[in-house]
Amino acid sequence: MLKEIIAVFKSDSLLDRAYKRSFEMLDLTHKMFLEATNVLRNTETNKVSFDINDQDIAVNKYQREVRKDVFNHLAMAGTETLSSDLVLVSIVIDIERIGDITKNIVEVAEGHPEKLSSKFVDSKVEEMEKAVSENFEKTIKAFKEADEVLAEQIITEYRWVSRASDEILMSLMHNEDTEIKSGSAVALALYVRQLKRINSHLKNVATSIVNPFHRIGYKVKKKD
């Protein structure tokens, strides 16, 4: 699906610029994610290597520019490429949401100025972190290369992350880890939910590679 859309984008300078900006958005949010998770989980401080607000502003600016380019294209060219335009706008909305959630992870780190861990669920959390990080890298590759095979793999491979998040939350609510401090339990609950949400938005981006606009965010429909 995305390959056909890319052909449309490359035929118009405004859409091509908007498409390339969406790449930059995805790369930037990936950088933000890696830094935010590292600070929260692997350090005893809450100091990030860059101003997260500046990065968030940059992501929001990219989104506005993409919307503007798409709008200007529609104003000049009409609605012939409307479906492709809507797909691109949908993608950048998901990427912008990832940026917002990553900013929330930094806020959790700022409120929990020590390494966040729980011996009881750490292994599960680490599996989630690894999966979301891999999902990020594969989604970027699939999106840039319009790789439908990889996109379908992504959609299927990381479904379990949502269930793992719910299981950890239930564990925390049932006080199964008797050693964890209340503040750390709250921070961990927020964090695993944020990982789940980022994974869901990455799935939406992946589905946009293989699905038409009306099925973005849903499983791939088998062809007859």
The pLDDT value recorded for residue 47 is 78
In a domain, 122, yes or no: yes
Any idea which of 2-16, 24-38, 106-120, 192-206 has the lowest mean pLDDT? 2-16
Q: What is the mean pLDDT of residues 192-220?
A: 87
In a domain, 182, yes or no: yes
CA 91 – CA 216 distance, rounded (Å): 9
CA 197 – CA 8 distance, rounded (Å): 30
Q: CB–CB of 188/180 below 8 Å?
A: yes
Whether pLDDT at 109 is above 80: yes
Query: SS3 of 43, please?
Result: coil
Interval 37-61: pLDDT, tens: 998 998 887 777 778 788 888 888 8
CB atoms under 10 Å from CB of 190, counted, come to: 18
Interval 186-203: pLDDT, tens: 999 999 999 999 999 999
3-state helix, strand, coil in the chain (%, to 5): 80, 0, 20
CB atoms under 10 Å from CB of 14, counted, come to: 20
CB atoms under 10 Å from CB of 20, counted, come to: 13
In a domain, 34, yes or no: yes
Domain of 201, CATH number, reads 1.20.58.220
Lookup: tokens for 143: 């999106």
Q: CB–CB of 46/109 below 8 Å?
A: yes
Closest CA to 143 of 22, 18, 14: 22
Helix and strand numbers (H, E) in the chain are: 8, 0
In a domain, 222, yes or no: no
Grade residue 183 by pLDDT with cuts at 50, 70 and 90.
Answer: very high
The pLDDT value recorded for residue 29 is 93
In a domain, 145, yes or no: yes
Burial 132-171 (b: 16+ CB within 10 A, else e): bbebbebbbebbeebbbebbbebbeebeebbebbeebbeb
In a domain, 207, yes or no: yes
The pLDDT value recorded for residue 224 is 47
For the chain, percent of residues with pLDDT exceeding 90: 45
Grade residue 68 by pLDDT with cuts at 50, 70 and 90.
Answer: confident
Grade residue 12 by pLDDT with cuts at 50, 70 and 90.
Answer: low
In a domain, 224, yes or no: no
Grade residue 11 by pLDDT with cuts at 50, 70 and 90.
Answer: low
User: What is the Cβ-side half-sphere exposure of residue 153, based on CA atoms within 13 angstroms?
Assistant: 14
Closest CA to 26 of 166, 151, 201: 201
Residues spanned by the domain of 104: 2-215
Question: Looking at the 3D structure of the chain, how many domains does it have?
Answer: 1
pTM, two decimal places: 0.88
In a domain, 220, yes or no: no
